[in-house]
Amino acid sequence: PKEQCHLRALGVFCKFTCEADGGMLCDDVLGRSLFSRKQREAESAPGWKLFGKVPLRESPPKNSKTIQQEYETKVSKSGQSPSLPAQGRRKNLEFEPLSTTALILEDRPANLPAKSEEEAQRHRQEYDEMVAEAKKRELKEAQKKKKQMKERFKQEESIANAMVVWNNEILPNWESMRGTRRVRDLWWQGLPPNVRGKVWSLAIGNELNITSDLYEIFLSRAKERWKSFRETGSEMESDGTSLSADRESSLDLIKLDISRTFPPLFIFQKGGPYHDLLHSLLGAYTCYRPDVGYVQGMSFIAAVLILNLEEADAFIAFANLLNKPCQMVFFRVDHELMLKYFAAFEVFFEENLPRLFNHFKSSNLTPDLYLIDWIFTLYTKSLPLDVACRVWDVFCRDGEEFLFRTGLGILRLYEEVLLQMDFIHIAQFLTRLPEDMLSERLFSCIANTQMISGNRKWIQVFNALLKDKEMEKSSSPTVKNS
């Protein structure tokens, strides 16, 4: 059997393999005094470093990559694994000077021939160029950081000023001010985080007249059904009949989907502070709207509301938001109406981005391949959370039209990239949008997207498509009796 012996000397981690069947033993290795000869030589020979003399190296210095490559080659020949123990492993073996003071020009050591004047001049010129380039990089980096800090302070000041306006002027006079030009402009710039939930609630409204007491009733009913489900393995209605298989799968889907909701945040997963709250809200809605039940994607919408509102208020906003015509069409999977939404989207797609529209058409890429996911989750799954919240701000102001305008803004933002892709890569790209997307760039593209086609607005185009659908039904041929 093989045994391993570890030796630490001069900050270097060495590893020897000892074999009981006549291989090299650790005692033999240590008995040879590997380091003694070099130490004696080093003491008698002059060397050089940046700030003074040190023992001369027997061989030229090696960088970290060379050392790592030699080590991996050595252990691969001996059949050992190149991986080090966790406590001794370093992920990054490359080091960079912290400043230009690490670049110091030194003459050749005294024991070597002196440089010629031409060589010395060339080295001084190269050194000056290196220092100048390093200082230039440092200055550029410092200016970049300064600019970022300036923009951050400006943004924070803008948010603070907007918060005062929203709290002191707009919210106390909501009904009279919500439609004014000033408020709409402030709305477009993004809502301050501490008033976002309040504005969302007011903008979404409560047409269903849901109260916090009603939420508690449906929450209690959901808890009873979960308890019954755990005890019996199936749910029972009040009359003793079993619920449908769809209902049972819907309850299982809630548990599964919660663990998939914003996993990087770790707050909605099991054991997280908002796991039970999200589970309760979705369960209560399932009992409140058994005709809809739970549909994948709802957990993301509910999670965003929970992050911005109290529990009961989040449920009220959630139920009313899903009751909007567009959301109800998608969550009830009304295929005919979904196709009308896609058709209306394509009208404005061709109007705004004709090149990309023709490219998608030639690739046979239809809007349902990417729009369904965007609309189902209201972009919360597809966009960075801060960008999605800003999309929600204006969505609450403008309604369903802004959802499709945002989709066109995304396509405009990445138009040049998408034009170079084929069907598969386009579908993959639009399913997983870049995580470094900036809200300012997206909203600039959205602002340049016009929702007017032939002097018709979104709602007019959509209603015209609905009328065409009704006319097709009324003009369909009927079988006449002879």
Q: What is the pLDDT of residues 77-100, one digit of tens each?
A: 555 444 444 444 444 444 444 555
Judge whether residue 25 has pLDDT over 90.
Answer: no
Q: What share of the chain has pLDDT > 90, as a percent? A: 50
Q: Report yes or no: 311 and 281 within 8 Å, Cβ to Cβ.
A: yes
Task: Write down the pLDDT at residue 169.
Answer: 94
Backbone phi, psi, residue 412, to 5°: -65, -40
Quick one: 328 and 432 in the same domain?
yes
Judge whether residue 2 has pLDDT over 90.
Answer: no
Judge whether residue 398 has pLDDT over 50.
Answer: yes
CA distances from 424 to 141, 356, 381 (A): 39, 15, 20
Q: Is residue 482 part of a domain?
A: no
Give the burial class of 208: count Cβ atoms within 10 A of its Cβ; 0-12 exposed, 13-18 middle, 19 or more buried.
Answer: middle
Quick one: 178 and 52 in the same domain?
no
Q: Report yes or no: 186 and 162 within 8 Å, Cβ to Cβ.
A: yes
19 pairs with which residues across the strands? 2
Q: How far apart are CA 480 and CA 66, in angstroms?
A: 89
| Least confident segment among 58-72, 140-154, 206-220, 409-423 | 58-72
pLDDT digits (tens, 9 = 90+) for 252-271: 678 888 988 998 888 999 88
Task: Write down the pLDDT at residue 106.
Answer: 74
Q: How much is the average pLDDT of 340-362?
A: 95
CATH number of the domain encompassing residue 401: 1.10.472.80
Q: Is residue 480 part of a domain?
A: no
Quick one: 390 and 461 in the same domain?
yes
Quick one: 465 and 331 in the same domain?
yes
Judge whether residue 3 has pLDDT over 70.
Answer: no
Task: Write down the pLDDT at residue 310.
Answer: 95
Task: Write down the pLDDT at residue 49.
Answer: 42
Judge whether residue 237 has pLDDT over 50.
Answer: no
Q: What share of the chain has pLDDT > 70, as a percent? A: 71
pLDDT, averaged across the chain: 79
Judge whether residue 10 has pLDDT over 60.
Answer: no
pLDDT digits (tens, 9 = 90+) for 305-325: 999 999 999 999 999 999 999
Judge whether residue 62 has pLDDT over 60.
Answer: no
Does the pTM of the predicted model rise above 0.75? no
Handedness of CA 398, 404, 407, 411 (dihedral sign): negative
Q: Which of 64-78, 172-186, 245-259 has the highest mean pLDDT?
A: 172-186
356 pLDDT band, cuts 50/70/90, is very high
Strand 12-19 and strand 2-9: the pairing is antiparallel
Quick one: 161 and 215 in the same domain?
no
Backbone phi, psi, residue 15, to 5°: -135, 125
**Better-predicted residue by pLDDT, 480 or 154:** 154
Q: How many of the other CB atoms lie within 10 Å of CB of 222?
A: 22
Q: Is residue 466 part of a domain?
A: yes
418 pLDDT band, cuts 50/70/90, is very high
Q: How much is the average pLDDT of 57-84?
A: 53
Q: Which residues contact 99 (CB under 8 A, 6 or more apart)?
A: 138
Quick one: 289 and 276 in the same domain?
yes
Q: Is residue 101 part of a domain?
A: no
Task: Write down the pLDDT at residue 100.
Answer: 53
CATH number of the domain encompassing residue 221: 1.10.8.270
5 pairs with which residues across the strands? 16
Q: Is residue 260 part of a domain?
A: yes
Decide which of 294, 320, 346 is a domain's last residue. Answer: 320
Q: Report yes or no: 18 and 4 within 8 Å, Cβ to Cβ.
A: yes
Task: Write down the pLDDT at residue 57.
Answer: 47
Task: Write down the pLDDT at residue 273.
Answer: 93
Task: Write down the pLDDT at residue 303.
Answer: 96
Judge whether residue 172 has pLDDT over 80.
Answer: yes
16 pLDDT band, cuts 50/70/90, is very low
Q: How much is the average pLDDT of 427-436?
A: 91
User: Total domain count for the chain?
Assistant: 4
Quick one: 172 and 278 in the same domain?
no
Task: Write down the pLDDT at residue 477.
Answer: 58
Q: Report yes or no: 309 and 302 within 8 Å, Cβ to Cβ.
A: no
Q: How much is the average pLDDT of 158-172?
A: 92
Q: How far apart are CA 215 and CA 306, in angstroms?
A: 14
Task: Write down the pLDDT at residue 107.
Answer: 77
Quick one: 360 and 470 in the same domain?
yes
Q: How much is the average pLDDT of 211-221?
A: 94
Q: Is residue 437 part of a domain?
A: yes
- DSSP for 342-353, please give it: HHHHHHHHHHH-
Q: Is residue 241 part of a domain?
A: yes
Give the burial class of 302: count Cβ atoms within 10 A of its Cβ; 0-12 exposed, 13-18 middle, 19 or more buried.
Answer: buried
pLDDT digits (tens, 9 = 90+) for 183-210: 999 999 999 999 999 999 999 999 999 9
Decide which of 259, 294, 320 is a domain's last residue. Answer: 320
Quick one: 380 and 444 in the same domain?
yes
Quick one: 464 and 365 in the same domain?
yes
Q: How much is the average pLDDT of 59-69?
A: 55
Backbone phi, psi, residue 454, to 5°: 60, 45
> Which residue segment(s) compose the domain that 239 sits in?
205-320
Quick one: 246 and 384 in the same domain?
no
Q: Is residue 462 part of a domain?
A: yes
pLDDT digits (tens, 9 = 90+) for 104-136: 777 778 888 888 888 888 888 888 888 888 889
Q: How far apart are CA 67 and CA 307, in angstroms?
A: 50
Judge whether residue 301 has pLDDT over 90.
Answer: yes
Quick one: 330 and 305 in the same domain?
no
